[in-house]
Chains A and B, each alone.
Chain A
Amino acid sequence: MSGHDHGDHGLSRRKVLECMTWAGTGVLWTITGGVPRSLGIIDSAQAATAAAPGMTFLQISDSHVGFDKPANPNALGTLEEAVNKINAMPAKPSFMIHTGDITHLSKAAEFDNADRIISQSKLDVHYVPGEHDFLDEEVKFYRERYGRGTKGAGWYSFDAGGVHFIGLVNVVDLKAGGLGNLGAEQLSWLEDDLRGKSKSTPVVLFAHIPLWTVYPEWGWGTEDGGRALEYVKGFGSVTVLNGHIHQVMQKVEGNVTFHTARSTAFPQPAPGAASSPGPMKVEDAKLRSMLGVASINFKQNEQRLAIIDTPLQG
C-alpha cells in the first residue's frame, strides 16, 4: 500500500475517482441492530471485523474464471488472491455471496477451477448466475452445481442473522434492445416470498445485473427491476447488492441502499467513459499496481457516501 496510499479520511471526490482502478477482493458487510452495513473491502475491513458486533458476510463478484485476455491473462490467479485475503481475515464471516459471472464461458473446467479456489475459503457460498454462467448449450452446468433447492432459473431466499436474503436471476430471457430481466414468474414468486413478512425485517436482494438503472446505453440496468423494488418498498431496511459492472457504485434511495461490487478479474470503464463497456486494458507492468481494494463507508441516514480506494501495491 505504499506510494499510492491516499490515507483514509478527507479524500476529495475527484481523488477518489482518480484512484478507482482495478479488481477488488470482496466487500464485507455486518448486520448491526438488524441493519446491514458495509465495513469495506476485505483489507480495510479487517480491523473492524474483530470488533464488529453481530453477523458479518462477504460479497465477491465477476470472477470470470477462464478469461485470459490482456486486461488480465490470469483471472483464476486474481480470484485466488481474493480468496487468500478472505482466509487471512482475523474473524471468519458467516458466509459469502457471489453475484455472478463465476466463469467466462460456462465451461465445465471453468466451473471446476472456480469451485476449487472458492472452496478454499471454507465458507458457505450463495450464488446467483451472471450471463457468462449460462452460455452452455443446455444451460445446465450452473444449475447442476448451484441450482439445488432454487426456483426457476435459480432464484431463492434464505434467512440469516435476522435478515431475509433473496437471490434473484436477471440474466435470462433478455429481449432485443432491452436490459436485464426478472420476468413475470420470478416477480410473482418474489411477491409471495415477501408476503406476510414483518416490515421491520431487513431485506437483502442480490442479483448479477444492477436492479437500478445505472447506464441503459450499455445495458446496465434491469427492465423490470422497479417491480421488484416496489415489493420491498414498505420494508424498513433494504440492501441491494449486484456485480456486472466491475466497479464500485453506491446509491441510497429512501430506505434502499444499492451497492455494486468490483470484479476479481478485470475492470470496466465508468459509464460513458469509453466507446464500450469492454474490459479496460492496462500495461502488463502496471497490472499489479492497479490491483486495488476499496472501502465503502456508509453512514446511516446520510446521503453523502465516501468511497475510499487503496491499491494493493504501489
Chain B
Amino acid sequence: MKTLNRRDFSVDFGLTLAAAILLPVTTAHADDTNMEVHIDNFVFQPPELKIKVGTTVTWTNRDDIPHTVVSAGKFRSKTLDTDDKFTFTFTNAGDYKYFCSLHPHMTGMIKVE
C-alpha cells in the first residue's frame, strides 16, 4: 500500500510546483487563446498559469472524486464529476486565486496580463 512516503511526496510536489510556475511562461504565446488546467490527484496542474486578456481556460477533472473550481466573486464551476470540464474566459487583467470548495487545500492561480 505504501508506494510513496511523505518526504518523497513533498519533494516531488515542490519540484512540480517550481516547474509549473516556469512552464506557462515558455508555453504561453501571445496567440494562445485557449489554455488547459487538469485536476489530477487532488492537484491543479499547472497550479499557476500566466495568460493574456481574452484567454479561455478549461479545467478538466481527471480524478475519481468530484471537484469544483471557485474564485471568490469571480467564477464558480458546478461540481465537476470525473472528466467534466469547466471553462472561463478572462476579460480583465489581474490575479485570480481559486480553489476547490470541496477540498480547500487544493488551490491555484491564474495571472491575467
Contact = CB atoms under 8 A, between A and B. Distances in A.
B3 interface: yes
A71 interface: yes
Contacts of B72: 176
B1 interface: yes
Given A270-B2, A275-B9, A276-B42, A69 B105 contact: no
Interface string A267-310: 00111111111111000000000000000000000000000000
Interface residues of A, number: 32
B101 interface: yes
A93 interface: no
Given A218-B42, A269-B1, A176 B99 contact: yes
A216 interface: yes
A269 B41 CA distance: 12
Contacts of A279: 64-65
Contacts of A131: 102-103
Chain A at the B interface: SS class: loop
A175 B106 CA distance: 10
B94 to A, nearest CB: 16
A276 B66 contact: no
A179 interface: yes
Interface string B1-30: 111111001001000000000000000000
Contacts of A274: 3-4
Interface string B21-56: 000000000000000000001110000000000000
29 contacts: A71-B64, A105-B81, A106-B79, A131-B102, A132-B102, A135-B66, A175-B104, A177-B105, A178-B104, A217-B6, A217-B105, A219-B103, A219-B104, A269-B1, A270-B1, A271-B6, A272-B5, A272-B6, A273-B4, A273-B5, A274-B3, A275-B4, A275-B12, A276-B42, A276-B63, A277-B42, A278-B41, A278-B42, A278-B63
Q: Which 5 A-B pairs have the closest CB atoms?
A: A272-B6, A276-B41, A176-B99, A219-B105, A276-B42
